[in-house]
Amino acid sequence: MSKKVNIFVDGMTCQSCVMKVEKGLSKLKIVEDVSVNLMSKTVTVSVVDGAKVEGLIGVIKRLGFKPKRDELKIEKSSLKLSDIENIISELKEKDTVLVKDEEDILKIKYLKDVVSLDEINSVLEKFKISVKKEKEVRKNIYEDEIKGLKKDLIISLIFSIPLMVSMFFHMFNMHKFMLNGYVQWALASVVQFYVGKRYYINAYKNLKNKSTNMDVLIAFGTSMAYFYSVYKVLIGSVDVYFDSSAMIITLILLGKFFESNAKSNTFGAIMKLMDLKADYAIVIDGDKEVKKNIEDVKIGDIVLVKPYEKIPVDGVIISGNSSVNQAMITGESVPVEKNIGDTVIGATNNIEGILKIEVKSTVENSVLSKILDLVQNAQTKKAPVQRLADKISAFFVPGVILSSLVTLLITYLITKDFTTSLLNSCAVMVIACPCSLGLATPTAIMSGTGVAAQNGILIKSGEVLEKIHKMDSIIFDKTGTLTTGELKVVEIKNNGNLSDDDFLSIIYSLEKNTDHPIAKSIVNFCKEKNVKEIEISALKVIAGMGIKAIYNNEEVLIGKKKFIEEKIGKLELNIENELLTIFISIGNNLSGFVVLEDEVESNAFEIVKKLKEKNIDVFMITGDSEVVAKKVANKLGIENVLYEVMPDEKSQKVLELQKKGKIVAMVGDGINDAPALASADISFAMGTGTDIAMETADITLMNGNLNTLLNSINISEQTLKIIKQNLFWAFFYNIIAIPFAAFGYLNPMLAGFTMSLSSVSVVLNSLRLRKFKF
């Protein structure tokens, strides 16, 4: 037996960091498997059952990273000193729990996958304290990082721009306008050692653990330029290169800032899923109605739910009937009729009727919690594409450092001139500095995502942009994606006993008295037709069934087929979709019916056709009935269709295709799509859908237009082409330039200028994406 533990870790910046953590944790005997997701900053470890997890945190710290824990804060004002001491003593016995005694509060830090909130409360309740909400670390990791990067970037720009201006004056021999060498030294020192300390720290950690990454090369390269410039200032020379060291740090910091912003919303969807959970439930205890926290509701409790309230728990109806909106869980476009014996799902909305529900699962094991787990597990899986530049730099960085040292040694042995040797060595390090290499991918991604945004496509990360065009299978949720998600009246059948005007007036006068989604659609249709309201009496809404009233001394019924049949007997009608058909009877006769339909998007057929032309297999999945699903699929030419599908089944379909080696894209718009969106290799959310779908998805199509899905594929193709060109020229430049620098044909000043020129060429090549036309 083993258990899985997720640890959120700050400080991982590249693929070598991932490899270091995986290698370090894999050495532990208690670890069966370890996987690191750089995008979500999550280390997922499978440990043998009963093993102490605190040891894992210690290893991660020793590797130079910062593991994060969930946190509770408790006010000390109501506690005695002895109580505080006992709380600290008992909690410290629990694995991964840390307790900090501060001035007014106790801070309790722990890993949720190891110690549950209930376990913490079991200790606190002894002292009449109970905590129901906890501070999550997931979002704060990115917020803190972005704030730090933004602050450093602003400082770096303020101190680097004067150095760049001074460098231009130097290039044109306008020395009298240059900044004094000591002033340049002071400005560059702020960038080098205050802003650039992150690179020095990361470089030290990597070298300490016998590994290298781009931080090592950044630290070495900028240090060579900086300290050589310090030397030149001290001997009175104007040939300094402080601008090179400062701008390298500034430009790479800019890329990191945009990268962290792209990652910052990774866990927003999880937080919103948590918010769907009801905070409390009304539990029937004998003759009393007791309001309880949702965590305190137990299996077997009877919960009361009134009209228009959220159903708090998963359970079975033991009294009452109603229509329940399950769209946020199942994706069904029509509220579902619920009667005694039917199951209901927590977080869905009760539209009509009073329900008594027997609880069948606790909040921890609810359908919503399972959806949340699916999203979390999918988001912490390893990304299919890793940063190409980081992989190559694992060999490139030590090679450049070695080349610089060899240059120093050989030149000195030949010339016996240390100054010349140092200049050549410095030129090698400066000209091979990874600025163009570091910019090759992020500048192309920034341009690609910028073009995409201008065309209503929001792409969450560079990894996603790189792989959109690789998809070979795409799964569409039906409602709100291939269809509009809005019910429209498509047919009105009047049997002829009344005029059309009177027939519609009766329907309008009854339906305007309920908030049911179908009724609202009919009312909107009648308003557009300027239908007049008529006088009715004795109106009564029958929850989950329909409405009855008196008109001209006759009973009028409007509602479901079953509701009408209870009054006038069985109806022998061949109707395609009874769920979206409303029947009307007057007296003992059927007067007619109204048919509604979730309309297909106008361009959906053309989009499906073009995707097939790209050899992409198209699937449609929905929580709707077989009749509704197949009707839509046939209209769009989709052969692969699954209906009456629950959220976990949607996710399972994604996984099945992935096991066959398919690169799967998922397109959805609802909360119920979140697990499948998170599981897919590439996920699209319609901008007209829910916030959770948009935050879970990799790409948001802001205007909800499916044409932008095809546009995103084209942008991905062009961006990857630019990235390959940039990387080729970055490495080609280094291969050619390093020998020239090593043999003294490029002094450090010219090397710095050439290095800057290579970076500019990469940026200009990336900017070509802005001219991309669809």
- Where in the sequence numbering do the catalytic residues fall? 477
Could you give the strand order of the β-sheet that contains 699-701, starting from the edge strand earlier in sequence?
A: 457-459, 699-701, 682-686, 664-668, 473-477, 617-621, 640-642
DSSP 135: B
Cβ-contact 576, 625 below 8 angstroms: no
DSSP 296: G
As beta bridge partners, residue 282 has: 291, 304
Q: Amino acid identity, residue 303?
A: V
Distance CA 519, CA 511 (A): 5
Cβ-contact 679, 379 below 8 angstroms: no
Distance CA 213, CA 18 (A): 11
- Sequence-ordered list of residues with C-beta below 8 angstroms from that of 450, at least 6 positions apart, any chain: 769, 770
CA 642 to chain centroid: 26
Distance CA 54, CA 177 (A): 59
Cβ-contact 302, 288 below 8 angstroms: no
Half-sphere exposure of 250 (CA within 13 A, CB side): 24
Strand pairing of 537-542 and 546-551?
Answer: antiparallel
What's the start-to-end Cα distance of the chain, in Å?
54
Residue 376 Cα distances to 264, 515, 677, 725, angstroms: 15, 35, 11, 36
As beta bridge partners, residue 640 has: 619
Burial 267-289 (b: 16+ CB within 10 A, else e): bbbbebbeebbbeebbbeeeeee
Residue 641: left if φ>0, alpha if ψ -120 to 50, beta else—which one? Answer: beta
As beta bridge partners, residue 10 has: 66
- Sequence-ordered list of residues with C-beta below 8 angstroms from that of 210, at least 6 positions apart, any chain: none
Cβ-contact 693, 685 below 8 angstroms: yes
Burial class (CB in 10 A: 0-12, 13-18, 19+), 122: exposed
Residue 66 Cα distances to 60, 69, 204, angstroms: 7, 10, 15
Cβ-contact 558, 584 below 8 angstroms: yes
